[in-house]
Amino acid sequence: MIGFVNLFKAAGPSSAQAVSRLRRIYGFYAGDRRLSAGHLGTLDPQAAGVLPVAVGKATRLIPLLADQRKSYACTLVLGRSTTTQDAHGETVEERPVPHDWSARLEKALPAFLGRIAQTPPMFSAAHHQGKRLYELAREGKSVERRARTVTIYGATLLGVELPASTNSGHALARLRIACSEGTYVRTLCHDLGAAIGVPAHMGALVREASGPFVLYEARTLDEIAREPSEALIAPEHIIPFPTIVLDLRGSADFRAGRVVPLPEGATGRHVFVRDESRTLVGVGEALGALLAPRKVFV
């Protein structure tokens, strides 16, 4: 079995828990309890939205996915900062929101576009000396983290709510963020607050897109369990490589890891390779008039 699934992860379970259930669904469907599955970028437990998952041998294709851009809709909560930079952390600072906060925010947003430096929060899956940062944070430890460069392609203010309209007294802003892989949206929310002089954290978060996977096409686990085959997306629909078909001899040589003649009319440096029965046998790289195996699915 090989393919990708556009999973809608609800708020609550972790990405690993969602993938574990998906693996069981397809393992039962394929009759293979050892079937592999892996997600393409962690989504925090409290977040919802698109969680792309590679199923079976598609896990070997993950490095070939060139488009790793993400799109999120989130709420920015002003007036309170937290230890986790989201609504689930303990309060670090809390103070009134100035009356001109929305004007300050609009003015500050352009400065966060393009390549910016972000320091991973302590409550994150980043590694430090072999341990996850969140593991150290739960032990009450804080370590120095190296800033990383991420790219913010777009930051749009969708709407605001004044403090008087909420029970908490905090101000809310709704944002849409388009960014590169590895961006921490909650850190962006925290940093936006710091830029306008107001403690802030991220409230709700929905991932609307991850590369070619988009929210309106995502399926819940229950929907996938009812129709596993319908939810499985062929690799050619996700990775924009052309497909070539080899004859019986050529596909046998390709499976054995041998270089084969490149069929006439083939275009592109990398191609998906199928045999005469249209079974996907691997990914090849064009080397002049020859085709070299790069990923082989035996």
Q: What is the band of 147 on the pLDDT scale with cuts at 50, 70, 90? A: confident
Which burial class, exposed, middle or buried, applies to 54 when counting CB atoms under 10 A from its CB (0-12, 13-18, 19+)?
Answer: buried
Dist CA 83 CA 251 (whole Å): 55
Q: Is the pLDDT of residue 269 over 90?
A: no
Q: Taking the model in full, what pTM does it have?
A: 0.87
Q: Is beta strand 270-274 parallel, antiparallel or unpaired with respect to 260-261?
A: unpaired
Q: Is the pLDDT of residue 123 over 70?
A: no
As annotated, the active-site residues are 44
Q: With pLDDT > 90 as the criterion, what percentage of the chain qualifies?
A: 72
Domains annotated on the chain, with CATH? 2-65+212-237 (3.30.2350.10), 70-210 (3.30.2350.10), 243-296 (2.30.130.10)
Q: What is the pLDDT of residue 235?
A: 94
pLDDT one-digit tens code per residue, 23-34: 999 999 989 889
Q: What is the band of 250 on the pLDDT scale with cuts at 50, 70, 90? A: very high
Q: Is the pLDDT of residue 166 over 50?
A: no
Among residues 150, 201, 139, 213, the alpha carbon closest in space to that of 175 is found at 201
